[in-house]
Amino acid sequence: MVIGKDTRRSSYMLESSLVSGLTASGADAHIMHVTTTASVSYITRTDGFDCGIMISASHNAFCDNGIKLIGAGGEKLDDEIVAALENYLDGIMPEGLSSLPAARGADIGSSLDYVCGRNRYIGHLIALSVCSFKDLRVGLDCANGSAWQIAKAVFDALGAKTYVIGDEPNGLNINESGSTSTGRLRAMVRELGLDAGFAFDGDADRCIAVDERGEVIDGDGEMYILARRQMELGELNDCGIVATVMSNSGLVSALEKQGIACALTQVGDRFVYKKMCETGSTLGGEKSGHIIIAKYGASGDGLVTAIKLLECAVCRGVPLSALLKGYKALPQAQLSVRVADKERAFLAGVEKFADRVMREEGCLRVNVRPSGTEPCIRIMAEAEEQSACARAVARIARYLRDIQG
């Protein structure tokens, strides 16, 4: 097995525990150290590992942590396998077993340094671009996370002049900036007159772009740009792309005008990839900046996204902002409300209340869903007017807080 981690203090603790458990069971643990989720996926697939493990809570604060399990093909493990593992952690053994056997003597596994895997991934990224970024001035916000060394190395090698923030991890400051908080990067792009900026999250599976004016291009805008580019190159098939129910309706309509279909699925990059496999789509993603290009991998890769977006601009000879021609996002408002019990919120009728709010406020649509990574309910409203969106999410948020007492 191959193991990577982000920069959280707890990631080092979890890595030690995982290595101990794996080797005690007879498995060899190959350690990539601080690296990105996408690099673990890439190395698992290309180097023939049985499984990949990434220790990260992605875009969450440093106090959270998690473990991402990656199959031999580089894809996230399916629900059934994850459920079986969670049952084991809860003391529920697989049928026919009372315990899992431990290795003894020479059967104990080895712990092996595998930084060469991370270096090979960097080489893979550098080889992806079909053009040089020479003379381009690019801002990078690494969120004090997994990309803090990798991103600069890649863009420097491709010829760009890089300006980097979020590259001083101390174990506690992960995601203080980055894809979920682009203010610092936007300001830097404007103040220094940069050509583009790219913000990653804690494990660099997300990328949010900033154009030359300092304006944000979110995952929907990125999918629009990349879908049009794939269509120009003849790489986009009739299946079109896959987005999620949180994506802006403006994306769907803009793509339709370009003759590109857009299928929607539930939030989560593994659900996006699953839908891509079902439809045969070559591109999918989320508004949050998880972008999957099937040609390059089975999960979101913020660095691949950044490279391909800048490549689109260079090959066309235009700034990033020009690539959004034909796309206009509808007004949206989003809010996350912390709750003690996500299931209770839905049993209390929040969806029915949200439908009523949608009608009363004149919204085009409202989406309420439990977060997959935090004790939160995510609220999204979309309307012709921003004020209607704001009123809708505020009313639903107040309802959620009231039912908690």
d(CA 377, CA 370): 5
CA dist., res. 346 & res. 371, Å (int): 13
Contact 142, 178 (CB under 8 A): yes
Query: Is the predicted pLDDT of residue 94 greater than 80, yes or no?
Result: no
Q: Are 187 and 176 in contact (CB under 8 A)?
A: no
Dihedral sign computed on CA atoms, order 334, 338, 342, 348: negative
Residues 318-356: tens digit of each pLDDT:
999 999 999 999 999 999 999 888 888 887 889 999 999
**Where among 101, 118, 135 does a domain terminate?**
118
Q: Give the domain CATH number at 104.
A: 3.40.120.10
Backbone angles phi, psi at 243, to 5 degrees: -125, -170
Residues with a catalytic annotation lie at: 58
pLDDT, tens digit (0-9, with 9 covering 90-100), for 188-224: 999 999 999 999 999 999 999 999 999 999 999 999 9
pTM of the model: 0.93
More confident residue, 80 or 378: 378
152: nearest Cα among 122, 173, 192, 181: 122
- Alpha carbon distance 80, 67 (integer Å): 16
What is the tens place of the pLDDT at every residue in 28-75? 999 999 999 999 999 999 999 999 999 999 999 999 999 999 999 999
**Residue 134 is which amino acid?**
K
Tell me the average pLDDT across 250-263: 96
On whether residue 384 sits in a domain, the answer given is yes
Alpha-carbon gap, residue 321 to 213, rounded angstroms: 8
Residue 164 placed within a domain? no
* Max Cα-Cα span within the chain: 70
DSSP character at residue 245? T
CATH of the domain at 398: 3.30.310.50
Question: 127 by DSSP, 3-state: which?
Answer: helix
Nearest 5°: the CA angle 186, 190, 196 is 70
Q: What are 134's two structure tokens? A: 């020479």
Domain span at residue 364 reads: 332-403
With cut-offs at 50, 70 and 90, classify the pLDDT of residue 82. Answer: confident
Q: Could you tell me if residue 128 is inside a domain?
A: no
Burial of 330 (C-beta count, 10 Å sphere; 0-12/13-18/19+)? middle
Is 246 within the bounds of a domain? Answer: no
- Say if 73 falls within a structural domain: yes
